[in-house]
Structure 1
């Protein structure tokens, strides 16, 4: 199958086409906490080639990860902003989302880094503001570990600072974490403002997204679970002047038969590192329980869910290309604007997704758009 021309992707009913992103494996161990063999590498050459494959396959974004210490199979980690620039230098269309962690980063440094990369790449850089869940990592690098909601208050000030620095001369800001007095950054980012992504499922995370973020990432979920989150965020956003778009995480296992795909999933879980999965689960669940409502990302995650860092199996993109395309459309109908994907063997599976799944998604989008626009006409007749 071939991918339709991009200019034809806007639906007749005005619905924007789904966007697709992939997790950049700039951290060793892949995207599952499992000892299953993976034809995925964290090194630069592998990732440059992967970015080129993803761009050709029709992906819109790549998301780099930020880690400072080893753990859960992540023995090696490339720094996210520098690595993002390397991927941008190897591509021409792909946007790269650099993960940035308030605490180790100050908005002044981040704003200048991203503005420079934007100038060098015609605006193809974005940021993902990560509020933090790994207290041990903060202790290891000598950074204070704030209470749950304080981390999100700091992240919100970080985002407000970034946007102010990027858009205003003589920027002045008075927050609890960051303060600026008549600060002017030149040059500012090229073209449109860099998009700001963030994740999290707690009340504080969703409220922050509703107020200041351009995109909200959520862990893998069913369409019904996703719909509830989307409705909540949109209701909150309607109280202000922000309209965040929604991205949902998913792990893809696309094979010629559903039996083959399910067998791969079974093998990933069967070969999971139980101690590492439990340690990861303990850390992230404690982070969520620290929120006032006692719930956040991973609050309801099972052992199997935790084998994929962000509940990617729960989105159920496991089966044949036809099955996966239908399930992707169900996520779109639940409110997703973007699907953030992970794979076992990244290069070949990203290529396969681009050839076999993405064209089916576009065809389904076109069919459903045609039915939607035809329905009022038929009713009027």
Structure 2
């Protein structure tokens, strides 16, 4: 297969990577990693990802240590640092209602929008870790109330960014004739959110631009996509979908599977079980009684967002085929994590993205012919 395929089009699947701005990488494992959480490592990683063909980077927000992540850099400030080191990459800053309110977020992101020529976006986290909220003295709301607050947060953000004399009367946020200047540059910052509960998908259908879901099979993802898009159409909106995946690309599938097994074998069992306890409790608190991690095994939970389930583990050809299958299931963006980020992001750009683009072009030609 040619490794010089057509460049991405509007219909191409896009790629993002998790920024390792917290220690421990993206697995709850003691396996040695050549991944750093410090600023110099991440600046260089952002440049590598940009050169490799990645479209987005997603910074993480944590306020308390746990699950192998003892150190954490704040997401918005860290996002701006990565933007200053790059020229094309878009950075998605994670925000958490409670510690943030829409007033602060609107002003921060509007300023960064000007500094970066519009390359900033946000990922609004409704929250799943009650212990973190208790530790920092923030009220812990019921499951659907957290999503109701997040929806108000987004409605307030959009109003502040697009209107003068903005007035809003919500249960969580209120504004009276508020005008923010400067507003973000156009187009407005994209708004991402995650979740897999009914409340999460309904909220995305009403107010978000992007919906992130945990790792899953193409069949499992298609069910969520179909449900989400039906709801969005009812609201006369469209929502794009991103899926989490952990990538292990090696010369043979056996080598890749051996790395996966080593990650799981060296997992920190206490940290994995504690993480599983928190996230499964958060899901059980939803009206339908399950959330993102409801069916996750111990091995799944070694990767925070079920990234092993997406099965981007094998040779470059296998991984490219599976990415295109995700696209055909309705995925618009693959949000990726790696064991050794710098080297493996570069490898992904050199050996997998070209294969994906070639497969997309090939299938596009077949569709036209049909």
Q: Which runs of 5+ in 1 are unaligned?
A: 376-381
Query: Separation in 2 of the partners of 1:268 and 1:237?
Result: 38
Native 8 Å contact 2:6 2:361 kept in 1: no
* Residue among 251, 254, 274 paired with 1:279: 274
Question: How far 1:238 moved relative to its partner?
Answer: 1.1
Native 8 Å contact 2:36 2:42 kept in 1: yes
Question: In structure 2, what is the equivalent of residue 165 of structure 1?
Answer: 160
For residue 150 of structure 2, give the secondary structure of its aligned residue in structure 1. helix
* Residue among 224, 232, 243 paired with 2:238: 243
* Residue among 96, 113, 123 paired with 2:118: 123
Is 2:343 aligned against 1:348?
Answer: yes
Question: In structure 2, what is the equivalent of residue 40 of structure 1?
Answer: 35
Is 2:338 aligned against 1:315?
Answer: no
Native 8 Å contact 1:3 1:358 kept in 2: no
Native 8 Å contact 1:122 1:191 kept in 2: no
Native 8 Å contact 2:3 2:355 kept in 1: no
Question: How far 1:241 moved relative to its partner?
Answer: 2.1
What's the CA shift string for 1:170-204, capped at 9, x where partnerless? 11111000001110000000120000000000110
Is 2:102 aligned against 1:107?
Answer: yes
Query: Separation in 1 of the partners of 2:41 and 2:110?
Result: 27
For residue 199 of structure 2, give the secondary structure of its aligned residue in structure 1. helix
Question: In structure 2, what is the equivalent of residue 59 of structure 1?
Answer: 54
Question: In structure 1, what is the equivalent of residue 321 of structure 2?
Answer: 326
Query: Separation in 2 of the partners of 1:16 and 1:181?
Result: 41
* Residue among 82, 86, 90 paired with 1:87: 82
* Residue among 254, 257, 269 paired with 1:259: 254
Query: Separation in 2 of the partners of 1:214 and 1:346?
Result: 27
Question: In structure 2, what is the equivalent of residue 302 of structure 1?
Answer: 297
* Residue among 131, 134, 140 paired with 1:136: 131
Query: Separation in 2 of the partners of 1:194 and 1:242?
Result: 17
Considering only aligned residues, what root-mean-square deviation do their CA atoms show, in Å? Answer: 0.8
For residue 22 of structure 1, give the secondary structure of its aligned residue in structure 2. strand
TM-score of the superposed pair, with normalisation by structure 1 = 0.96
For residue 238 of structure 1, give the secondary structure of its aligned residue in structure 2. helix
Count of paired positions: 369
Q: Which runs of 5+ in 2 are unaligned?
A: none
Query: Separation in 1 of the partners of 2:232 and 2:297?
Result: 31
Question: In structure 2, what is the equivalent of residue 378 of structure 1?
Answer: none
